[in-house]
A and B are shown apart, each in its own frame.
Chain A
Amino acid sequence: MSAILAIEDLYKRFPIAGSRQVVQAINGVSLSIRPGETLGLVGESGSGKTTVGRCIVGLLEPSSGSIRFRDTDLARRNLHRRQLAGKIQFVFQEPNESLDPRMRIGETISEPLIPLKLDRERRQRKTAAALALVRLAPTLLDSYPSELSSGQQQRVGIARAMVTEPELVVLDEPTSALDPSARAEIIDLLRRIQAERNTAYLLISHDLSTVRFISHRVAVMYLGMIVEQGDTETVFNRPRHPYSSGLLSSVMLPHPHLAIESSVSLRGEIPSPINLPKGCFLASRCPFVIDRCKQEMPPRETVGPNHMVHCFRHADVAATIPASDTFNTFMREAERILGRSAPAGSLANIHLE
């Protein structure tokens, strides 16, 4: 299937006021998303994930490179709003900060419909449908954000994005501000909407286990570059970039005996994007480093179907780091521990005292 969104060699630099230095936030990002697909974009803070998302929705203008949505070149910002007719939407991280506290829920949800110039009746119908899609009661239309729980607020954020029936939604950390149960509800909701409407998602997140379970493909970002990209199972089970492996080994699954093995332990923090080093950006933190890494940037190499990586030593990484199936093991364990006596079937399974 052809891509709905194609980004080629995207760069974004921010000048620093009163200085000739620039922040090199994105350094040559290429990615594509197909209809109905979720691409997970992961990496530490400062890796440029959010900047990529903002360039896609037109909140930022790229310094160079192209962003094509179907046949529209989104780098030309003035075309953005009208021609897209709400086909690309954005869901923000903090629901209570991204909703206008003085607007009623109904107004907030219908706001993206204004540029579409629909008549009042159609607008109301679409608003009600969006509210129903996220399973909020119609009585909430006249409420204010402060009257809602944060899980409900994020549902409003999603309804506002979905009201224009977008083909692509950029989800920027949509669940990181939420409690575990509210987070799981929002993830189920997003999955259900995707199944019903074939919406494509760019899921920006540092919650790797969420990304693992709802993304079809994953792109790992480090200092404005995608260092590894591939099918989610492949990247999570057999990472070929030391950074991906180190990132994965930091995941703490709620099971005391399951940890993701890695020979990479990422020390220190992400370097400043102001004076980027020559060569591979990870060289200063990487246990696989060789002299060559400090001299030249590793090229993009294809290492398997749909699987690309920027690393001179990807073969050694693959050879040293054991293939891991930890996430699937975790799922099976969860079934065993939580499913065994789940009340959905019959109460006969439960041993009452």
Chain B
Amino acid sequence: MRGTLAAMNDPAVIGQGEASRTAPPLIEVRDLHITFPAGGDEPKEVLKGIDLSVSSGEIVGLVGESGAGKTTLARSILGMPPAPGRISAGEVFFEGRQILELSEPELRRLRGRRLSVVVPNPRAELNPLLTIGHQISSMAKIHLHVGNQEARKMALQMLHDVQIPDPERRMKAYPHELSGGMAQRVVIAMALICSPAFIISDDATSGLDVTVQAQVLALLARLAADNGSAMLFITRDVGITAHFCNRIAVLYSGEIMELAARDDMFLKPAHPYTLMLLAAFSHSPRLREAWSVPETGERQEPREGCRYANRCPLAQPVCRAQAPSFNEIEPGHFARCHFPVRPA
């Protein structure tokens, strides 16, 4: 018998990344810009040209600190940027359709059925007045147009799949009767009951205990693999992505700074921001110091050039003058940096 984490790392569960690299992407974000009005000032650009694709069977991690734009990206992919933000440029292709051009009713038919999102704070997602059985089965009724009996059967199977003990009895439970871990699993069940092709997990496991988190992640990976779904996994916890994702994108201040397959990202990180993030998890004060600049320095984002320049220990004058492009430094490994760090 092996630990949950070991099971999650099992190539049978997760290792579909190789095959998917050649498959055409299921969802493709092209040069997406989101702006927020800022009073009389120039509107603030929160996402500054995101390019990202996810193929069927692939789990792409999106990591970054608060304010980087992770949730804005998740919501914009579903065609609903957080108000008052608006999509100022860019395209999102899903199964060949440009979804940002779809009408609201068309979008609504896609969301929940083909595109699904799992959010943190499950209690806020669930209606306190309805049983969880009712809430899960109505997803199937609305989107798959199945009858009561069939929907109930599907909901029960889903509760079983997300490993809720005694699912028959839990169907009749109200959200307040569930623990946080169980409520999170119910929200996952709701997100997956229509077998969506694309799942966004927006920090969905951050509130859970590590033991429950490991179970929920293993479950998400297995269900996604069973359905051949693609997943965008958004988190602040870089450690999870090392064990859970095929590729990882590092978001900083509305831009993807580095994008690489999991081993390349963790064993050969290239962008100084990625190295700073990894050093923060290293528990070595010396490494942390090596990759950060003293706090007294200018922390404000430069108007020109690289957005990370004022926090970057490698910054040169050119970094503040000219924005770096997103270069492929090795096959499949991209970094937005004039001086990417290379392995010795």
Contacts known (A183-B280, A249-B3); A208 close to B210, Cβ less than 8 A: yes
A214 CB contacts on chain B under 8 angstroms: 283
CB distance from A147 to the nearest CB of B (A): 15
Whole-angstrom distance from the CB of A248 to the nearest CB of chain B?
A: 9
Whole-angstrom distance between the Cβ of A295 and the nearest chain B Cβ: 24
Partner pick for B210 among A247, A334, A353, CB 8 A cutoff: A247
Q: Provided the pairs A269-B182, A344-B289 are in contact, do residues A44 and B65 lie with their beta carbons within 8 angstroms?
A: no
Interface segment, one of B23-31, B33-41, B261-269: B261-269
Most chain B CB within 10 A, of A188, A247, A259, A340, is at A259
Instruction: Sample 6 A-B pairs with CB under 8 A, ordered by A number.
Output: A256-B242, A256-B263, A263-B1, A337-B278, A340-B344, A344-B286
- Residue-wise, chain B 165-195 has the 8 Å CB interface mask toward A (1 for contact) of 1000000000000011110000000000000
- Are the CB atoms of B239 and A337 closer together than 8 Å? no
Asked if B342 and A255 make an inter-chain contact with CB atoms under 8 angstroms apart, the answer reads no
A83 within 8 A of B: no
Alpha-carbon separation in the docked complex, A267 to B313 (Å)? 44
Is B212 positioned at the interface, with any CB of A under 8 Å from its CB?
yes
Q: Mark A206-217, 1 if CB is under 8 A from B, else 0.
A: 101110111000
A304 at the interface (CB under 8 A from B): no
A-B contacts counted at CB < 8 A amount to 173
Known: A45-B209, A341-B344. A180 touches B281 (CB 8 A): yes
B5 in contact with A181 (CB, 8 Å): no
A191 to B286, CA, bound (A): 13
Closest approach, in angstroms, between the C-beta of B291 and any C-beta of chain A?
7
With A255-B266, A259-B5, A331-B284 in contact, is A44–B243 under 8 Å at CB? no
Complex partner residue of B240 from A184, A252, A262, CB under 8 angstroms: A252
Chain A interface residue number, banded: 35 or more
- Indicate if the CB atoms of B279 and A338 lie closer than 8 Å: yes
- Where the two chains meet, the residues of A that have a C-beta atom closer than 8 Å to any C-beta of B are 44-45, 135, 150, 179-181, 183-185, 187-188, 191, 206, 208-210, 212-214, 246-247, 249-256, 259-269, 287, 331, 334-335, 337-344, 349-353
Contacts of A349 in B (CB 8 A): 344
Tell me, in angstroms, the Cα distance from A265 to B275 when the chains sit together.
Answer: 32
Contacts A250-B5, A334-B282 given; does A255 touch B242 at CB 8 Å: yes
Whether A181 and B278, one on each chain, are in contact in the complex, defined by CB atoms closer than 8 angstroms, is: no
Question: Taking the complex as formed, is B236 at the interface, i.e. its CB lies under 8 A from any CB of chain A?
Answer: yes
Determine whether the beta carbon of A250 is less than 8 Å from that of B214: yes
Give how many B residues have a beta carbon under 8 Å from the other chain's beta carbons. 65
**Contact with B340, one of A213, A344, A353 (Cβ below 8 angstroms):** A353
| Residue pair A188, B288 in contact (C-beta under 8 Å) | yes
5 A-B pairs besides A188-B285, A337-B266 with CB distance below 8 A are A208-B210, A209-B283, A214-B283, A254-B239, A331-B284
Chain B residue contacts of A212, Cβ below 8 A: 283
Whether the Cβ atoms of A343 and B236 lie closer than 8 Å is no
User: What residues of chain B lie closer than 8 Å to A135, measured between beta carbons?
Assistant: 295
A150 to B289, alpha carbons, bound, how many Å? 20
Contact check, B2 vs A338: say whether CB atoms are below 8 A apart: no
Q: Are B314 and A350 in contact (CB under 8 A)?
A: yes
Q: Which residues of B contact A331 (CB under 8 A)?
A: 282-284
Closest 3 CB pairs of A and B: A342-B290, A249-B3, A334-B282
A206–B280 CA distance with the chains assembled, in angstroms: 17
Q: Are B290 and A353 in contact (CB under 8 A)?
A: no
B9 within 8 A of partner (CB) = yes
B4 close to A (CB within 8 Å) = yes
Q: Is B215 part of the contact surface with A, judged by Cβ < 8 Å?
A: yes
Return chain A residues, CB-CB under 8 Å to B300. none
Using Cβ atoms and an 8 Å threshold, which residues of chain A touch B291?
A: 338, 342-343
A206–B210 CB distance below 8 A: yes
Tell whether B287 is near chain A: CB-to-CB under 8 Å: yes
Check B292 for interface membership: any CB of A closer than 8 A: yes
Residues of A near B288 (CB, < 8 A) are: 184-185, 188
Residues of A within 8 A of B243 (CB): 252, 256, 259
Which residues of B are found within 8 Å of A191, using beta-carbon distances?
285
Q: A44, A45, A261: which contacts B6 (Cβ < 8 A)?
A: A261
Contacts of A213 in B (CB 8 A): 283
A335 touches which of B214, B287, B339 (Cβ 8 Å) = B287
Quote the shortest CB–CB distance from B160 to chain A (angstroms). 14
Instruction: Tell me the complex Cα distance, A269–B210, Å.
Output: 11
Contact with A along B210-246 (1 / 0, CB 8 A): 1111110000000000000000000011111111100
Q: Are B211 and A334 in contact (CB under 8 A)?
A: no
When distances are taken between beta carbons in the complex, the residues of chain B under 8 Å from A181 are: 65, 276-277, 280, 292
Q: Is the beta-carbon distance between A180 and B339 smaller than 8 angstroms? A: no
- Say whether, besides A188-B285, A269-B212, A335-B287, A287 and B1 are in contact (CB < 8 Å): yes
Decide if B110 is an interface residue (CB 8 Å cutoff): no
B287–A180 touching, CB < 8 Å: no
CB of B343 closer than 8 Å to a CB of A: yes
Is B266 a contact partner of A256 (Cβ separation < 8 A)? yes
The verdict on B50 contacting chain A, using a C-beta distance below 8 Å, is no
